[in-house]
Structure 1
Amino acid sequence: MLTFTIRRLVLAVPTLLFISLVIFLLLELAPGDPMAQVPLTVPPEVKEKMREALGLGQPMHIRFLKWIVQFFWIEPQILIDNIFGTGFADGKLRVMSWQTRSPVMDIVVQRIPQTLWVVGTAYMVGVLIALPIGIYSAYRQYSIFDQAGTFVSMIGFSVPPFFSGVLVIVIFSVNLGWFPSIYDTTHKVVDWDSFVIQLRQMVMPVMVLALQITAQISRFMRASMLDNLNQDYVRTARAKGLSEYIVVMVHVLRNSMIPVVTVIALGVPAIFGGAIITEQVFKVNGIGQLLIGAIQANDLPMVQTLTFIFALLIVVFNIIADVLYGILDPRIRYD
């Protein structure tokens, strides 16, 4: 298992480098010019100096290498400096946002906590709700509970977040007045009362994201449980006199979780992508809204960094899913 994990980590390096090259080339070849938003009254020589200051006058391969070095070498040193108070990254140049003229990673680090508050909570809530629903729906196949779960899952799959987000705002904020319609990103949790306020403003965006997560994972859990409930080892376990709880919750559940682990692991980067729309609806000042603003402003360094972070999440959680295979199923052996 250790050898397999090390091998996957080593193979992840060229994979990430190739992904970074594809992202860089796609954005470089895309139409648009960051100088297009500069007023026409600005003289051409001033525009040219602005282009040079942004690094646009350098060759494409030089800009790509600088971006790679920045992401994999300089920014980790800056993170170490902030944590331990060292001086590894003192005086080193950083990739700047064309829109704000600030270091890209500093802006990303400022926005990530807001996204994690909403996305992290929604994912945990969705998984904790989906697994019991999928297990019980499979065990009580075609029951009223199973049919109701299927109906709710169809709604979760069918309704896009930009519609469900507006719908919950109209119902719970406008009509009932239970929750705020706009997420206050300046709010800080310092005591119990401020924590309650934070929970109230998180309820609706978490509700929208958790609905999609629950719909997807519960269906996978149900299908996997049904596939294992009819296996010979289940009949053998029952014939040996094991209790129904042990048969279902120990033997069947462990084998059923193997394919579901992939869905859960790969769902983490996917839910970050879904949060882009949700953050726009509820005005959450996270990385999703940051990406939309960077695209609109043609801020290529910011778009490249955020897109690559999403790709990095996919690669990392692929490795985590593969490692969990061996933990859940002892029959799996990696040479």
Structure 2
Amino acid sequence: MLTFTLRRLLLAIPTLLLISLVIFFLVDLAPGSPASEIPLTVPAEVRVKILEAMGVNQPVYVRYALWLKQFFYVEPLTGIDAIFGSHYAEGMQRIISYQTRSPVFDVIVQRLPQTLTVIGTAYLVGILIAVPIGIYSAYRQYSIFDQLGTLLAMIGFSVPTFFSGTLFIIIFAVGFGWFPTKYDTTLNVTDWETFWQQVRQMTLPVMTLGLANAAAISRYMRSSMLENMGQDYVRTARAKGMSERTVVLKHVLRNSMIPVVTVIALGIPSIFGGAIITENLFGVSGIGSALIGAIHANDLPMVQTLAFIFAILIVLFNLIADVLYGLLDPRIRYD
């Protein structure tokens, strides 16, 4: 397993370099430029200085190298100039967002807690709901519970999040007044009162995304359980006198989780990417809304950086899913 993991990590390096090239040049060569955002009333010499400060006048390969270098940036320690020279800090300057005039990674770090809190909770709630529903629906196939679960899953599949989120706002926020319509990003949890305020404002976005996530995962869980419950090893376990609980939860569930792990693992990067539509609908100041704002403002460094971070997470969680295969199924050996 260790050899396989190291081999995959080494293979990920050229893969991510190729992905970074594609992302950088696709965004950089897209129509529109930072110069179009500068007002026409700005004098030509000032316009040139602005573009120089933004670094867009440099050759494209230089801009790619500087953009890629920001992922290896380390904040200089106190006295670092005296040890390595002042050129060290100058050579490790970070990429600046065109929109906020702040380092791109600083903006991402500021918005990451909101995304992890709301979107991460929604994904976790979706998993905790979907797995038991999928297991019981498969065990009680064609029962009323199974048919109801299928109906809810079809609703979650077919109804887009912008519609279900708007519907929840109209019913539960405007109609009943139970929850706020917008997410307050300035709220700090310091006591039980602010904690319940946080829970109330998280409820609607968590419901919106949890329904969509649970619909997909529950169907995969049900299908995988049904496939394994008809296998010979299940009949053998029952013939040996094992209890139905042991057969289902110990033998069938473990093998059924193998394909479901892929769905869950590959869905985790969406937590960091944020549910873009849901974040904008409820006013969550997360990474998803930052991406939308960067696209509207033609903030190329922010768009490129976020897209590459999503690619890194997808490659990473692909590896994690493969490793979990070996832990769930002892028949799988990578070495």
Q: TM-score, normalised by structure 2?
A: 0.95
Counterparts of 1:195 and 1:87, CA distance in 2: 42
In structure 2, what is the equivalent of residue 112 of structure 1?
Answer: 112
Q: Aligned partner of 1:194: which letter?
A: T
Taking structure 1 as reference, are residues 238 and 170 closer, same or farther at Cα in structure 2, changes over 3 Å only? Answer: same
RMSD: 1.5
Pairwise CA distance, 1:254 = 0.3
Three-state SS of the structure 1 residue aligned to 2:268 is helix
In structure 2, what is the equivalent of residue 70 of structure 1?
Answer: 70
Contact (CA 8 Å) 2:179, 2:203: kept in 1 or not? yes
In structure 2, what is the equivalent of residue 262 of structure 1?
Answer: 262
Three-state SS of the structure 2 residue aligned to 1:142 is coil
In structure 2, what is the equivalent of residue 221 of structure 1?
Answer: 221
Pairwise CA distance, 1:45 = 1.4
Pairwise CA distance, 1:130 = 0.4
**Greater displacement, 139-148 / 38-47:** 38-47
Query: How many positions carry a matched residue from both structures?
Result: 328
Counterparts of 1:175 and 1:96, CA distance in 2: 44
Q: Which runs of 5+ in 2 are unaligned?
A: 82-87
Counterparts of 1:86 and 1:69, CA distance in 2: 22
In structure 1, what is the equivalent of residue 85 of structure 2?
Answer: none
Pairwise CA distance, 1:23 = 0.3
Three-state SS of the structure 2 residue aligned to 1:130 is helix
Pairwise CA distance, 1:292 = 0.4
Counterparts of 1:208 and 1:87, CA distance in 2: 48
**Greater displacement, 193-202 / 221-230:** 193-202
Contact (CA 8 Å) 1:209, 1:274: kept in 2 or not? no
Counterparts of 2:79 and 2:227, CA distance in 1: 55
Q: Aligned partner of 1:59: which letter?
A: P
Tell me, yes or no, if structure 1 residue 208 matches structure 2 residue 193: no
Note the 1:123-272 alignment, pairs <5 A: 123-272=123-272
Pairwise CA distance, 1:37 = 2.0
Counterparts of 1:286 and 1:35, CA distance in 2: 27
Counterparts of 2:89 and 2:257, CA distance in 1: 47
Pairwise CA distance, 1:86 = 9.1
Three-state SS of the structure 1 residue aligned to 2:156 is helix
Counterparts of 1:143 and 1:195, CA distance in 2: 40
Contact (CA 8 Å) 1:183, 1:284: kept in 2 or not? yes
Contact (CA 8 Å) 1:291, 1:303: kept in 2 or not? yes
Counterparts of 2:79 and 2:292, CA distance in 1: 34
Contact (CA 8 Å) 2:112, 2:272: kept in 1 or not? no
In structure 1, what is the equivalent of residue 40 of structure 2?
Answer: 40
What is the CA deviation profile of residues 161-207 of structure 1, one whole-angstrom value per residue up to 9, with x for unaligned ones?
A: 11111110000000000000100001111122111111110000011
Percentage of matched positions with identical amino acids: 67
Three-state SS of the structure 2 residue aligned to 1:40 is coil
Q: TM-score, normalised by structure 1?
A: 0.95
In structure 1, what is the equivalent of residue 12 of structure 2?
Answer: 12
In structure 1, what is the equivalent of residue 302 of structure 2?
Answer: 302
What is the CA deviation profile of residues 132-152 of structure 1, one whole-angstrom value per residue up to 9, with x for unaligned ones?
A: 000000000000000000000
Counterparts of 2:46 and 2:188, CA distance in 1: 42
